[in-house]
Amino acid sequence: MTNLKPTSEPSVADSAELLAETSAESGRPVRSGWRMLLPTMTPWLAIGLGLIVAITLFGVIGPYLVGDPRAIRDMGLTGPSADFWLGTTQTGQDVLAQLAHATRGSLQIGVIVGLLATALSAFFGIYGAYRGRAVDEVFSLFTNVFLVIPGLPLVIVISGFVPAESRGLWTIAVVLAVTSWAGSARVLRAQTLSVRNRDYVAASQVSGERPWRVIIVEILPNLLPVIASQFVFAVIAAILGEAGLSFIGLGASNSSTLGTMLFYAQNGFALSLGAWWWFIPPGLIIALFGTGLSLVNFSIDEIINPKLKNLRLHRKRARRAARLERELAQAARRGGPAATASKESAR
């Protein structure tokens, strides 16, 4: 999970112009208004959305369909079977039932932390950059300091000091959010700086709009794709962070997440007993959900950085040209009139 943040710093600035250009070439009208904020449907986006929807449904509906995850049976550590699709734990608990409940727990904390962290980063990134001068200096110093202090060790130390009985879901969520907002704040600051100096923002300031209105109505819509992408990153980071914390036994007390499942699997010697059905599914769900979110983020990246989109369109055009060329060559071998016909149909 290195480099969760994209290292390139694209700007939203010149996207409209380039979009118009590319769509003019492809012969379709420019997508208007808010539609430009939505990503184009690509196979990767479809796979990503599919993964997210499937896992979310599993976490939301799954717990109602499976049995009691805590019920203990006299059949410890049996492999997958018709009755228990993912086998049982050491104490005979149904792994599938645990997985459904744990997925719900992890998604819950992911969304809570994602929202908190995005709100924090929006405040420090956008508000600081909008006010400029001293406020910006102080805010960005604060952001950079938080960025270089390693997050997880800090979280571990904080969780270590909080007694287990007062370590609830919200405590963990707040701690994770406080240690993870800095990266997005820096990205948002860079974007806000580029938007804030546009003429239309100056115009709205001159016409007497209040600062909060300028930020929310004039600047925020331009930053939506960036914020969405940062939110997605925040959710991945939160789910991973919580899983790590729970895995070492420092998660929220009496919560059930994918991390706690792995904690029990590790402490139940699932590894040395070869109970792969116990420790592989929880990690796989985290990995697949994270992949789904990253794939969606690729599509959001294309909105933020049109160069990436142009690359894809360029490739598409190149493939179409190659196909046309092949068809033409085939038609030419078959004779004159067919060639023009296939050319027409290809259009």
Partner 1 sequence: MSYFLRKIGFYAVALWAALTLNFAIPRLLPGNPVDILLAKLQQRGGTVSPETREAYALLLGGDSSEPLWVQYVDYLKNLLRGDLGVSVSYYPAPVSEVIGQSLPWTVILVGLATIIAAVLGVGLGAFVGWKPGTWLDSLIPATTLLAAVPYFWLALLLTYLLARVLGWFPLQGGYDVVLTPGWNAEFILSAITYGFLPALTIVLASIGGWLLGMRNMMVSTLSEDYILTAEAKGLSPRKILRSYASRNAVLPSVAGFAISLGFVVSGSVITEQVFSYPGIGGRLLGAVSNNDYALMQGLFLFITLAVLGANLVVDLLYGLIDPRTRARS
Please, which residue, 10 or 215, has the CB nearer to partner 1? 10
Binding site for partner 1 (CB under 8 A): 1-10, 44, 47, 141, 144-145, 147-154, 156-163, 166, 183, 236, 240, 243-244, 247-250, 262, 266, 271-272, 274, 276, 279-280, 282-283, 286-291, 293-295, 298, 305, 307-308, 311, 314-315, 318
Shortest Å distance, C-beta 192 to partner 1: 18
β partners of residue 88:
94
Greatest extent of the chain over all pairs of C-alpha atoms, in Å: 84
Q: How far apart are CA 118 and CA 80, in angstroms?
A: 40
Q: Name the packing angle between helices 133-148 and 182-196 (round to 10°).
A: 150
Q: What share of the chain is helix, strand, coil (3-state, %, to 5)?
A: 75, 0, 25
The burial of 25, by beta-carbon neighbours within 10 Å (0-12 exposed, 13-18 middle, 19 or more buried), is given as exposed
Write down the least CB distance from residue 161 to partner 1, Å. Answer: 4
Q: What phi, psi does 113 have (nearest 5°)?
A: -65, -40
- Taking the least distance from each CB to partner 1, the nearer of 243 and 331 is 243
As measured in angstroms, the least distance from the Cβ of 5 to partner 1 is 7
Nearest one of 263, 258, 249, 251 to 168, comparing CA atoms: 251
Our CB check for partner 1 shows the closer of 190 and 214 to be 190
The residue among 100 and 237 lying less far from partner 1, judged by its C-beta, is 237
Kindly state the smallest distance separating residue 178's Cβ from partner 1, in Å: 11
Token digits of residue 166? 């007062």
**CB of 158 vs partner 1, minimal distance in Å:** 6
Could you tell me which of 77, 111, 63 has the C-alpha nearest to residue 279? 77
Q: Which residues contact 102 (CB under 8 A, 6 or more apart)?
A: 256, 257, 258, 260, 261, 282
Q: Which is nearer to partner 1, 182 or 219 (CB)?
A: 182
Name which of 213 and 319 has its Cβ closer to partner 1. Answer: 319
Question: Residue 44 CB, nearest distance to partner 1 (Å)?
Answer: 6
